[in-house]
Chains A and B, each alone.
Chain A
């Protein structure tokens, strides 16, 4: 990562020598957005392009964006599904602010996305779908392809449907089935435009449709036809090269990974390293369900997945399994946490390990099921009756979900406490390259169960604490001589017997708090290259990418900004107060109305400023660069 190329405005191309008939330009980065109807297969198309790109060795970041409805009415604005991919020859941090290329499969996709596409960008439209009826459906009075709407864009009008059907005329498929392969035609065309390797996609299609070889062949044919179309048609005079991002990555083996997949792998890994069977109790909910799906594939690791009757039973079963000595995990999204709150409180009182994964989404109530938000922080922090502190871990990137899962499990088991893992919709579905851990990074960290009485008289006290961690012994059923009863009623310090004694309750409340406060958390690192910044930008969770990209822009423009990012939110790193007080101004960007800022102001009495957005979409780098620049102007007194 020595030659870091700044993540700046638009992609710059320079012609490079090409002996062929077509010109090849070299780019350092590209943002492509595929957009179409929910049924057009845009997520699959985006996934495939991402895989090709990952395999080619670019750095990348993705942003899937889809409606909550499985199939909204065809051709309507609410039914538009899109997938944005940013890839580069250097390390990048976000899925990109604005597409350089928009692929619009119908008028709705064009209308819904055009506002994000800057003039000068390329737009590839499927002209077959621009019928009078389809245009009217989304409120286009006239055809935007020829009324000047797209003036200033480089428009490629391609009859994708017709070309696909034509390519498949000998396939024996009915016209309707042939039409469905148009997304693969588009993928082939884009793969040609950006010199993507194609073997992976062909292999993927043959595997995906292994049981229907005629469909496999049709999709491969459409994919190749799209490629060839780019190669031969005059409409596409230029193709682009984006070199592998060789300097951006430490040595190692890489794969592309989404946040939810990384999280699931992290949980399996945690179970293996801790030597504990993994038990997942879960109830399907967007955007967390993929973790349940993934973990249910890994029963050969001894992973038990339990699809419960409701959210409450999901966490209840996980807690029951934890009592029995398993690594108990429950996965959900915000509304599910609301239902699980009472059981989380029970886990606090029982002092049993439990990992509670919240893939945050837009709220309140059902809110925006498929969109991202960070508004569950205070729910995780305080959303229980009584004083019920729960540690919180929050990954910063999709790949970071792996480490976060291992860390959450480690804290839970070491301190015998429920732990929150706060991911969100953006991390869950977004993807990026991930360096696969080496075997030596996966060494066991075994757990010690209680096996013997812990009192001189040979009795066993379930709440006799470890002096260092304040954790109580984990004595699992099946261990002779350690029979004991635990419950949600206040218990006597040490013996664990029911106790209503006022002084004991006060002591136990403070002990549970002290245990969480005492969790070892790494110090907060500050990135302040000039060392003289007055402005600190502090984020948490998934805002890391856009914040860091915004900071790069400001620094490139000569501004001094320090950046720090929290992945432990309870307890906070011990040096957080010192860090905050070192800077004249602290800006806290969050996808909520200022929840972290509220905590910082309350705990450290600093005048942290909020910069917030709750649109269901991640911040853009440009927004943050602007916000930081404004702060800098204020600090220097200039306007």
Chain B
């Protein structure tokens, strides 16, 4: 599960005639009341949420692809069953999130079309390939770990449907990270070749995971309104630091090293300090130039197109049944 802080800039401002309603709205948010779909809300709040929740949903759906790659090649039935369950969960999380976005007045079809047309963004992390089985361990441990850091505060988001979806997601998510870490631990305690494989996966996923938290606070122009509206509770950098602090000792327990020569523990602050993130890479991946962007979109489009006949047949059958029961009612 994979919330990411990207592209959250807020468009426009509240029209002056709404000033009174806006003040009432902000007072409710400040009082930690949840805003529900039929409540008055600033247009920019609605747009921000539609964008963020739908990006989040798209990320869940695209996120099935890198892991799905290994379902047929999982090393045991136990691993395979767990991986299938995890991928099913990601699909479910996408569904919860689309439904939450739809309460804001957009249709599922619109949202899916935007993704397939390449107009909507999804988390940059899924544009990296899963080259070995160890990547499945690294994804569960690191990608889901990073996502959980992001998502726990979203359970208290001011928008009721989003917060309820996140509570459900977070509950289901806790097994994902543990299954990933268990895979890493097994490999790290395995043969020399398995340990090399685990280290290689960690080396490749570490920096992209740190990028999942979004641009540094100094560069993110958009957090103010989201923070004021209590959509965002912690800054990108604060969450990133939290993730690093939690994860570095877990890597050490595995007997693996982190691919960052600058990494060091600061006794004074009790935080792990880390090196410079390559934001050029992040921007390139977001711009569509990551290792797998084209593959991911092609796979989504192919899946959608090959499912067309199923949706059409289901609709046609439903229409026929409606017609039949109308005819039966008419005859009676």
Partners in one complex: no
Residues of A near any B CB (own CB < 8 A): none
